[in-house]
Chain A
């Protein structure tokens, strides 16, 4: 059991409290899901509850955290706490230490005082329940984001602890893989394990949650049984994304010929070395369309959009962007036509201020009237107040909006986004979609890769389903076009 009593915490070199007089009891065998806006202190709560804040972090601390009745500060160190409690962090890649999946799990098992026979037995059980048996000889670095998340979970499960803290364990997973994780966690709960889960996918986790906690501004704003908590309409919108009304009733321009196509893909095939990723893809996306690309992890969605600005060049076939064959253009030239927002916004930020970060793309493309363009992009993203701040100080939701502002400011006719709502709550996800909708209403094309069914259903004019490198279906949403 974990108990937090009046816990407050301020990170070093900051003035604002990340946690403010937070009290929470996690009883044995129960499952608590914590959700809320990015920057609300959810990850800090994980660090506090696991004793990591007490042992590894400086800053201002107040209050008491106990694990099984013992103050975390009284444990000799994290290794002692690790005998009772396991934690999976949100960055799966950072938790891959060894060179094969099996080695990753086996190494965790070796330190539990088990006999070699028990270790082998538990290893095969864990590989089986986490659906990793087929991947056991693969290098973790070469797995998809979702597979890495499963490996990180498996290595923590190997410890056999009774208490598990999971920080966004399904953020990069598709629907199917998320259901797999939920089923694993349900089994663990049935075995009497205690779970503290930070998540945004309430719908998937509903069946295993005993208590729903809403965190805002470093404190618990609402706590209780899920049905009770969701009676509040404001909270409901935060927990369950609501994209109703985002899709415009106006019909998007449907391409009438190849010359008007924003993106025209002809017989596209692509392989990574010997591994085929796309096969004979044919697709026309017209100007002004809002297209959602959906499909399971590894279905070729990201490989497809990386062809649009020639980060990848087709192995066979052609991709035409605004009539230009990408084979004949450089990436820098295509940046004027296609703006690509990557899944992780932190891959792009290097400037000292938000304003300079937006200005970088404008300088590269030699776009004039920069101050006005920057202010307009930041206003639309709701970040004008933060223009002089260091980009990495922003919350995840704000960083995602900044990444979009950086690309929108470059005024491309086509904007392509890879999972833009990962790790965001319902309100933040809606904000992102509203920004994209405005961009579409200015006559631009929007292409979004998403695992979120609601985004595809309620925002897009057209849904393209990909499966194993093929376009499985291409559907115009009813009532539009």
Chain B
């Protein structure tokens, strides 16, 4: 089973960068995608991240999440269309021919555009975070956040949150299988998913709570919170990092210039 947002042991461009460079990349990308509202520019960001992933041999992991991203994007667009009517109506959700309620819930061009922008921003942020997390060992992340003077308890909380993703994934599958083996047939589709909530979520949450207790005690009993750490195998900034950081400054400056000189290209 492919694990979501977990470190993948590979040797590629992203793996060679220190967490600092990658954190900076996330900041630059996040700022640009939040400020920009132009669909072509956001598509350019998506394309750039895909090129980076291909160059870093991480494209398979990135594309593994496409289905989830597609579903989420559609949900964004639908919610926007339903809640933020704006501009010219290009159709209606309920066809005109339906008696009484025909023509209700207009689909407006402005809402669709906003929905697409939101979906693209979401894709950019997820791609950027995913590239960061699947190429960074938690130990390196601990070192980097420690250097940035983040309190150790917050660092550990972040690491635990990440660490619980595969546990819940694997545990959820096992519980699902255990219930199927008891003749449980919740059906397929959304209704099936809703029906299966009780027999799967109850054991999943109960087991996760027990596990989190042991995990918390393990962290204490291994002395991770003592704060006196020997820095070993710490990743230092290398040529690839200097090139990346310089490149990011150039991109950020370029974005600012374009935004001021030719805003139509990004907004």
Q: A interface vs B, CB < 8 Å? A: 50, 52, 56, 77-79, 81-83, 85-87, 89, 91, 93-100, 103, 106-116, 119-120, 137, 139, 141, 155-156, 159, 309, 311, 330-332, 335-336, 338-340, 342, 344, 346-350, 360-361, 364-365, 392, 406-407, 410
Contact of B181 among A78, A100, A103, A340 (CB under 8 A): A340
Q: Which residue of B lies closest to A138 (CB)?
A: B9
A309 to chain B, nearest CB (A): 6
Contact of B222 among A159, A365, A407 (CB under 8 A): A159
Interface size for B (C-beta < 8 A) is: 54
Q: A79-B225, A89-B214 are in contact. Are A141 and B180 (CB under 8 A)?
A: no
Q: How far is the CA of A410 from the CA of B180 in the complex (A)?
A: 13
Query: Are B221's CB and A342's CB within 8 A?
Result: no
Q: How far is the CA of A90 from the CA of B76 in the complex (A)?
A: 44
A171 to chain B, nearest CB (A): 14
Q: How far is the CA of A9 from the CA of B156 in the complex (A)?
A: 30
Q: Given the complex, which residues of B lie within 8 Å of A112, measured CB to CB?
A: 223, 230
Q: How far is the CA of A79 from the CA of B219 in the complex (A)?
A: 9
Query: Are B218's CB and A111's CB within 8 A?
Result: no
List the one stretch of B33-41, B109-117, B202-210 in contact with chain A: B202-210
Query: Are A103's CB and B138's CB within 8 A?
Result: yes
Q: Which of B165-221 contact A (CB under 8 A)?
A: 166-167, 170-171, 174-175, 177-185, 198-200, 202-203, 206-207, 210-212, 214-215, 217-221
Q: Given the complex, which residues of A lie within 8 Å of B224, measured CB to CB?
A: 107, 111
Q: Given the complex, which residues of B lie within 8 Å of A86, measured CB to CB?
A: 221
B180 to chain A, nearest CB (A): 4
Query: Are B182's CB and A406's CB within 8 A?
Result: yes
Kindly list 16 other residue pairs between chains A and B, CB separation below 8 angstroms, not including A106-B139, A311-B177, A331-B180: A82-B226, A86-B221, A89-B214, A97-B218, A99-B9, A100-B9, A110-B230, A111-B224, A113-B228, A116-B232, A155-B222, A156-B222, A311-B181, A332-B183, A344-B174, A347-B171
Contact of A141 among B3, B159, B206, B233 (CB under 8 A): B3
B262 to chain A, nearest CB (A): 44
Q: How far is the CA of A336 from the CA of B137 in the complex (A)?
A: 46
Q: A77-B220, A94-B218, A103-B139 are in contact. Are A141 and B181 (CB under 8 A)?
A: no
Q: Which residue of B lies closest to A119 (CB)?
A: B232
Q: A103-B139, A346-B203 are in contact. Are A79 and B175 (CB under 8 A)?
A: no
Cross-chain pair count, CB within 8 angstroms: 176
A88 to chain B, nearest CB (A): 9
Query: Are B218's CB and A89's CB within 8 A?
Result: yes
Q: Can you report 14 residue pairs joining A to B where beta carbons are below 8 Å apart?
A: A77-B220, A98-B139, A99-B6, A107-B142, A107-B224, A111-B228, A141-B6, A332-B180, A342-B178, A347-B207, A348-B178, A348-B182, A349-B203, A360-B184
Query: Are B230's CB and A360's CB within 8 A?
Result: no
3 tightest Cβ-Cβ pairs between the two chains A and B: A364-B183, A335-B183, A94-B214
Q: A94-B215, A348-B203 are in contact. Are A83 and B170 (CB under 8 A)?
A: no
B27 to chain A, nearest CB (A): 24
Q: Which of B170, B202, B203 has the most CB of A within 10 A?
A: B203
B200 to chain A, nearest CB (A): 8
Query: Are B199's CB and A335's CB within 8 A?
Result: no
Q: A94-B211, A106-B233, A392-B206 are in contact. Are A82 and B184 (CB under 8 A)?
A: no
Q: Given the complex, which residues of A lie within 8 Å of B228, measured CB to CB?
A: 111, 113
The reply on B229 being an interface residue by CB < 8 A is: yes
Query: Are B203's CB and A119's CB within 8 A?
Result: no
Q: How far is the CA of A350 from the CA of B199 in the complex (A)?
A: 6
Q: Which residue of A lies closest to B7 (CB)?
A: A99
Contact of B166 among A87, A91, A141, A348 (CB under 8 A): A141
Q: A330-B185, A342-B174 are in contact. Are A111 and B137 (CB under 8 A)?
A: no
Q: B interface vs A, CB < 8 Å? A: 3, 6-7, 9, 137-139, 142, 159-160, 163, 166-167, 170-171, 174-175, 177-185, 198-200, 202-203, 206-207, 210-212, 214-215, 217-226, 228-233
Contact of B170 among A110, A141, A338, A365 (CB under 8 A): A141
Q: How far is the CA of A470 from the CA of B185 in the complex (A)?
A: 33
Q: How far is the CA of A364 from the CA of B207 in the complex (A)?
A: 24
Q: A115-B230, A347-B175 are in contact. Are A407 and B218 (CB under 8 A)?
A: no
Q: How far is the CA of A410 from the CA of B182 in the complex (A)?
A: 8
Q: Which residue of A lies closest to B171 (CB)?
A: A347
Query: Are A365's CB and B211's CB within 8 A?
Result: no
Q: How far is the CA of A97 from the CA of B183 in the complex (A)?
A: 35
Q: Which residue of A lies closest to B207 (CB)?
A: A346
Q: How far is the CA of A444 from the CA of B155 in the complex (A)?
A: 54
Query: Are A141's CB and B167's CB within 8 A?
Result: yes
Query: Are A108's CB and B180's CB within 8 A?
Result: no
Q: Given the complex, which residues of B lie within 8 Å of A99, measured CB to CB?
A: 6-7, 9, 137-138
Q: How far is the CA of A361 from the CA of B184 in the complex (A)?
A: 7
A414 to chain B, nearest CB (A): 12
Query: Are B184's CB and A332's CB within 8 A?
Result: yes
Q: Which of A100, A113, A340, A346 has the most CB of B within 10 A?
A: A346
Contact of B137 among A79, A98, A114 (CB under 8 A): A98
Q: Given the complex, which residues of B lie within 8 Å of A361, measured CB to CB?
A: 182-183
Q: Given the complex, which residues of A lie within 8 Å of B166, measured CB to CB?
A: 141
Q: Which residue of B lies closest to A363 (CB)?
A: B183
Q: How far is the CA of A113 from the CA of B230 in the complex (A)?
A: 6
Contact of A91 among B9, B174, B203, B211 (CB under 8 A): B211
Q: Given the complex, which residues of B lie within 8 Å of A139, measured CB to CB?
A: 3, 6-7, 9
Query: Are B232's CB and A106's CB within 8 A?
Result: yes
Q: A103-B139, A114-B230, A116-B232 are in contact. Are A335 and B202 (CB under 8 A)?
A: no
Query: Are B137's CB and A95's CB within 8 A?
Result: no
Query: Are B220's CB and A410's CB within 8 A?
Result: no
Q: A106-B139, A332-B183, A346-B206 are in contact. Are A111 and B223 (CB under 8 A)?
A: yes
Contact of B175 among A56, A137, A348, A406 (CB under 8 A): A348
A195 to chain B, nearest CB (A): 16
Query: Are A95's CB and B178's CB within 8 A?
Result: no
A319 to chain B, nearest CB (A): 15
Query: Are A335's CB and B137's CB within 8 A?
Result: no
B175 to chain A, nearest CB (A): 5
Query: Are B137's CB and A100's CB within 8 A?
Result: yes
Q: Given the complex, which residues of B lie within 8 Å of A410, measured CB to CB?
A: 182-183
Q: How far is the CA of A309 from the CA of B9 in the complex (A)?
A: 34
Q: Given the complex, which residues of A lie within 8 Å of B184, measured CB to CB?
A: 332, 360, 364
Q: A86-B221, A107-B224 are in contact. Are A97 and B159 (CB under 8 A)?
A: yes
Q: How far is the CA of A221 from the CA of B88 in the complex (A)?
A: 82
Q: How far is the CA of A404 from the CA of B178 in the complex (A)?
A: 12
Q: Given the complex, which residues of A lie within 8 Å of B221, measured CB to CB?
A: 50, 52, 78, 81-82, 85-87, 156
